[in-house]
Each structure stands twice: as C-alpha cells, then as structure tokens.
A and B are shown apart, each in its own frame.
Chain A
Amino acid sequence: AQSVTQLDSQVPVFEEAPVELRCNYSSSVSVYLFWYVQYPNQGLQLLLKYLSGSTLVKGINGFEAEFNKSQTSFHLRKPSVHISDTAEYFCAVKEDYQLIWGAGTKLIIKP
C-alpha cells in the first residue's frame, strides 16, 4: 500500500522569499501525484498534478513541483511567496480507487 510523508508540519518563510514543501511517497510502478491547498475553514483546491510526461509540473498561483522517481519525491516550490499563500498544503498519491494523503504542511508567511 502507498504511503505519503510530508516531512515538515510547518514551514515559516519571509514574504517574497522562495519556499519548498517536501513530499515523499512509497515506491510504486507508476504513480499519479497531486498537490492541494486548503485555506482556513475551506475545502481543498487542486494546485497541480503529475500524471505522466514532463517531470516539472506547473500549477496555479505560481507553484510548481518536480517529480523525482529515483528519490520518490514530489516537492512543491514557489520562487517568491506572498501573504496570500498562507494555507495548509497537502500532497496525495492515487492508489486504486482512492487518494492517499500526507498529513499536510502549514505555510506561514512572515511579514
């Protein structure tokens, strides 16, 4: 069975600085990977997805992620964060009929 590990429960970063949110999944023959964002008291919104093809995936709000099969990672990055990026970010991998979720990383933007 798949598992997803988000290595940091919280990541504090100054506004306009770059950020990386880390996600590792357990090995599988083929994987389909997703990053979602959750703003306070709201549902989840899809940021980006990797299904196949280019290992660098671009998403909404200036985020991108790189699929690394050898390291079984799918880290999320943004070159310059804004206060509006304050949210919780979830990584997920598709397995059979369901998504397997990481525990989430809270992105805290410091002014």
Chain B
Amino acid sequence: DGGITQSPKYLFRKEGQNVTLSCEQNLNHDAMYWYRQDPGQGLRLIYYSQIVNDFQKGDIAEGYSVSREKKESFPLTVTSAQKNPTAFYLCASSMGTATNQPQHFGDGTRLSIL
C-alpha cells in the first residue's frame, strides 16, 4: 500500500544533541512537508519541499534543518539550537504545492527531552 512512513515513533533527545527524524513516502508525490504539533494548537509548518534538492522555510524553521536528496525521503534534523523541541512531529506529502490536492500524513514521531 502507498503511504508515508515516519520513524522512529518515539525519540528522546539529550541536551546539546542533534536528532534526525525520518520520513519516507512511496506515493510518488513531489511535495513534502514537516509540521510541529503542540497541545491545543494547530499544526505549524517547519519546512516544505516542492521538488528534489529544493526546500523552503516555513513559519518556525529556526533550530531545524532538512534535506531532500531523493524524491521519496525528507528527513528533519532537530538541532541543539531548538530550545523547546518536545512536540509531536508530522510529515506530509502532496502531489504538488500548487495543486489543491490534499496532503497525506504519516503517523508522527513524538520527541521528548531526557
């Protein structure tokens, strides 16, 4: 079945450590997104990518980095510069950012601080 796979499901970070969240899709979608979800808030966009080897900052990109070396993969690194990283992180994909087709989501990664 086509879909989006996020791993790991749970992740713990120590002070000063960078951690990388994986996101893989087999939907042949061009566009991919990373969101952060905090309790009582909607989703906030961290980064998005419209095509391989290209990505743009979203509303809350500080303390995060991404890469898009392959169409299927869009990993997110939470750096030590992100002082409040505890949240639920969601990866999504769509046929393209210019279309009105919906975004499809993975099951998320919950990141906590040790």
Chain A interface (Cβ < 8 Å from any Cβ of B) = 4, 9, 32, 34, 36, 41-46, 49, 51, 90, 92, 94, 96-99, 101-104
Chain B interface (Cβ < 8 Å from any Cβ of A) = 4, 6, 33, 40-45, 48, 50, 56, 58, 90, 92, 97-98, 100, 102-108, 110
A42 nearest in chain B by CB position:
B107
Judging by beta carbons under 8 Å apart, are B58 and A49 in contact?
A: no
Judging by beta carbons under 8 Å apart, are B108 and A49 in contact?
A: no
A33 nearest in chain B by CB position:
B100
Provide 12 A-B residue pairs closer than 8 Å at the C-beta atoms, listed in order of the A residue. Answer: A36-B105, A41-B107, A42-B107, A43-B106, A43-B107, A46-B104, A49-B100, A98-B45, A99-B43, A102-B42, A103-B42, A104-B41
A4 nearest in chain B by CB position:
B42
**Pair count A-B, CB < 8 A:** 55
Among A36, A43, A51, A90, the most chain B Cβ lie within 10 Å of the Cβ of A43
